[in-house]
Protein backbone atom coordinates (compact mmCIF):
# COMPACT_ATOMS: atom_id res chain seq x y z
CA UNK A 1 0.00 0.00 0.00
CA UNK A 2 1.19 3.51 -0.69
CA UNK A 3 0.97 5.71 2.40
CA UNK A 4 1.13 9.43 1.71
CA UNK A 5 1.85 11.71 4.66
CA UNK A 6 2.26 15.47 4.55
CA UNK A 7 5.02 17.79 5.69
CA UNK A 8 4.22 21.02 7.52
CA UNK A 9 4.37 22.93 4.22
CA UNK A 10 1.86 20.51 2.64
CA UNK A 11 4.37 18.59 0.53
CA UNK A 12 3.24 14.99 0.02
CA UNK A 13 5.68 12.21 0.97
CA UNK A 14 4.80 8.80 -0.48
CA UNK A 15 6.04 5.61 1.17
CA UNK A 16 5.19 2.01 0.22
CA UNK A 17 4.35 0.07 3.38
CA UNK A 18 3.23 -3.44 4.32
CA UNK A 19 -0.31 -3.36 5.60
CA UNK A 20 -2.55 -5.85 7.37
CA UNK A 21 -6.10 -5.86 8.73
CA UNK A 22 -6.32 -4.52 12.27
CA UNK A 23 -7.06 -7.07 14.99
CA UNK A 24 -10.72 -6.52 15.88
CA UNK A 25 -9.98 -7.73 19.44
CA UNK A 26 -7.68 -4.75 20.02
CA UNK A 27 -9.51 -1.98 21.96
CA UNK A 28 -10.73 0.87 19.76
CA UNK A 29 -10.36 -1.07 16.52
CA UNK A 30 -13.18 -1.15 13.99
CA UNK A 31 -13.47 -3.46 10.99
CA UNK A 32 -12.39 -0.84 8.43
CA UNK A 33 -9.01 -0.15 10.02
CA UNK A 34 -5.57 -1.29 8.93
CA UNK A 35 -2.27 -1.69 10.75
CA UNK A 36 1.17 -0.70 9.50
CA UNK A 37 4.46 -1.08 11.32
CA UNK A 38 7.46 1.22 11.11
CA UNK A 39 10.59 2.34 12.85
CA UNK A 40 9.77 4.98 15.49
CA UNK A 41 12.47 7.23 14.02
CA UNK A 42 10.98 7.20 10.49
CA UNK A 43 9.86 10.47 8.99
CA UNK A 44 6.33 9.18 8.41
CA UNK A 45 5.98 8.48 12.15
CA UNK A 46 7.03 12.02 13.00
CA UNK A 47 4.59 13.47 10.44
CA UNK A 48 1.74 11.26 11.70
CA UNK A 49 2.49 12.26 15.29
CA UNK A 50 2.10 15.91 14.28
CA UNK A 51 -0.89 15.49 11.97
CA UNK A 52 -2.64 12.19 11.26
CA UNK A 53 -4.04 13.24 7.88
CA UNK A 54 -2.81 10.93 5.12
CA UNK A 55 -3.85 9.21 1.92
CA UNK A 56 -3.68 5.49 1.13
CA UNK A 57 -3.64 3.81 -2.27
CA UNK A 58 -2.86 0.39 -3.70
CA UNK A 59 0.62 0.17 -5.18
CA UNK A 60 3.26 -2.15 -6.55
CA UNK A 61 6.12 -3.50 -4.44
CA UNK A 62 8.22 -0.51 -5.55
CA UNK A 63 5.54 2.05 -4.66
CA UNK A 64 4.04 2.77 -8.08
CA UNK A 65 0.34 3.63 -7.54
CA UNK A 66 -2.09 1.25 -9.26
CA UNK A 67 -5.33 2.78 -8.00
CA UNK A 68 -6.78 5.99 -6.68
CA UNK A 69 -5.81 7.42 -3.31
CA UNK A 70 -8.34 7.53 -0.48
CA UNK A 71 -8.19 10.04 2.41
CA UNK A 72 -7.34 8.42 5.74
CA UNK A 73 -6.38 9.16 9.32
CA UNK A 74 -3.31 7.60 10.90
CA UNK A 75 -2.73 7.24 14.63
CA UNK A 76 0.27 5.95 16.53
CA UNK A 77 -0.53 2.84 18.54
CA UNK A 78 0.80 2.39 22.10
CA UNK A 79 4.09 0.53 22.49
CA UNK A 80 2.17 -2.37 24.06
CA UNK A 81 0.59 -3.09 20.65
CA UNK A 82 3.89 -3.79 18.86
CA UNK A 83 3.98 -7.59 19.45
CA UNK A 84 0.42 -7.91 18.18
CA UNK A 85 1.12 -5.77 15.09
CA UNK A 86 4.27 -7.75 14.27
CA UNK A 87 2.38 -11.04 14.71
CA UNK A 88 -0.31 -9.82 12.30
CA UNK A 89 2.38 -8.90 9.77
CA UNK A 90 4.00 -12.35 10.00
CA UNK A 91 0.59 -14.04 9.69
CA UNK A 92 -0.19 -12.11 6.51
CA UNK A 93 3.21 -12.08 4.78
CA UNK A 94 4.75 -15.34 6.05
CA UNK A 95 8.53 -15.80 5.78
CA UNK A 96 9.26 -12.35 4.25
CA UNK A 97 7.28 -10.72 7.08
CA UNK A 98 9.08 -12.81 9.68
CA UNK A 99 12.50 -11.89 8.26
CA UNK A 100 11.67 -8.18 8.14
CA UNK A 101 10.62 -8.16 11.80
CA UNK A 102 13.48 -10.17 13.33
CA UNK A 103 15.31 -7.06 14.58
CA UNK A 104 12.36 -5.40 16.34
CA UNK A 105 11.01 -8.68 17.76
CA UNK A 106 14.35 -9.80 19.19
CA UNK A 107 15.47 -6.36 20.37
CA UNK A 108 18.21 -6.09 17.74
CA UNK A 109 16.86 -2.97 16.02
CA UNK A 110 18.18 0.11 17.84
CA UNK A 111 15.04 2.13 17.14
CA UNK A 112 12.59 -0.74 17.73
CA UNK A 113 9.17 -0.70 16.09
CA UNK A 114 5.88 1.13 16.35
CA UNK A 115 2.41 0.30 15.10
CA UNK A 116 0.21 2.66 13.13
CA UNK A 117 -3.58 2.41 12.86
CA UNK A 118 -5.15 3.68 9.64
CA UNK A 119 -8.83 4.54 9.24
CA UNK A 120 -10.18 5.27 5.79
CA UNK A 121 -11.97 8.39 6.96
CA UNK A 122 -10.24 11.53 8.17
CA UNK A 123 -13.07 12.18 10.60
CA UNK A 124 -12.63 8.87 12.47
CA UNK A 125 -10.67 8.93 15.74
- The tally of domains found in the chain comes to 1
Three-state secondary structure of the chain? CEEEEECCCCCEEEEECCEEECCCCCCCCCCCEEEEEECCCCHHHHHHHHCCEEEEECECCCCCECCCCEEEEEEECCHHHHHHHHHHHHHHHCHHHHHHCHHHHHCCCCCCCEEEEEECCCCCC
Full domain range(s) for residue 17 = 2-119
The answer as to whether 124 is a domain residue is no
CATH classification at residue 25 = 2.30.110.10
pLDDT in tens, the chain (125 residues): 999 999 999 999 999 998 888 776 766 565 668 889 888 889 999 999 999 999 999 999 899 999 999 999 999 988 888 888 888 888 888 888 888 877 766 666 656 778 888 887 654 44
pTM for this one? 0.81
Amino acid sequence: MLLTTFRRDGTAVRTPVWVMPADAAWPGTAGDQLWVWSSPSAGKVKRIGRDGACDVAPCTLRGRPVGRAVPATARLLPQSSVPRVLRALVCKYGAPGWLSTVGPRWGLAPAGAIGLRLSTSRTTE
